[in-house]
Amino acid sequence: MDRINWLVAAGILNTIAALLHLGCVFGGPSWYRFFGAGEGMARLAAQGSWRPTLITLSITAILAGWAAYAFSGAGLLPRLPLLRPALILICTVYFARAAAYPVMIARMPGHSTTFLQVSSAIVLVFAIVHAIGIWTSWDRL
C-alpha cells in the first residue's frame, strides 16, 4: 500500500467500529450480547435503561472522530487541529487497549475470554494500521 492508503484503511476500520457500536443501540440486547458488551449491559438495555445507549453512543462518537482524524491525515478531509498528536494518541489508545488484555481477564469476569481475546486482537490490528499510517505519512502530518 502506498502511504495514503494506510490512513484511509485506519479511517475505514474506525468507521466500521463506529457503525457496529451504533448497531448495538438499534439492535438491542441481542446485539450487545453478540458483540460482547457483557450480560450486565444487555440486561440494562432489555430493561430500557438509557445507560447502555449513552455509553455506546459515546463510544460511537469517539470512533467517528477517530475516523475523521485518520481521513484528515490521509488528505480526504480538511486538516483537523493537532492532527499529528491526535493520531499518535489514537494509536497509543489502541495499543494500550490491546496490551490491557491480561488485566481485563482478571477484572472483567462478566466478559467471555473469547471476546476479550478477539477484541484485543482486533484493536491490535487497528493500532498497527494506524502506526503504519502515521509512520508512512509523517512528513505530511
pLDDT tens-digit readout, 67-124: 999 999 999 999 999 999 999 999 999 999 999 999 988 888 767 788 889 999 999 9
> In the prediction, which pLDDT does 1 show?
47
The C-alpha cell 503504519 sits at 132
Query: Which residue, 46, 2, 36, 17, is CA-closest to 123?
Result: 17
> In the prediction, which pLDDT does 67 show?
98
Q: How many CB atoms lie within 10 A of CB 64?
A: 16
| Helices of type H across 28-107 | 29-34, 39-46, 51-73, 83-99, 101-107
Tell the burial category of 5 from Cβ atoms under 10 Å away from its Cβ (0-12, 13-18, 19+).
middle
Q: What is the distance between the alpha carbons of residues 100 and 96, in angstroms, rounded to a whole number?
A: 6
CA distances from 138 to 20, 74, 106 (A): 30, 11, 37
> In the prediction, which pLDDT does 4 show?
55
Q: Structure pTM?
A: 0.92
Residue 22's identity, in one-letter code, is: L
Residues 6+ apart with CB under 8 A from 14: 63, 64, 66, 67, 70, 126
Q: How confident is the model over 48-68, as pLDDT tens digits?
A: 999 999 999 999 999 999 999
> In the prediction, which pLDDT does 77 show?
97
> In the prediction, which pLDDT does 108 show?
80
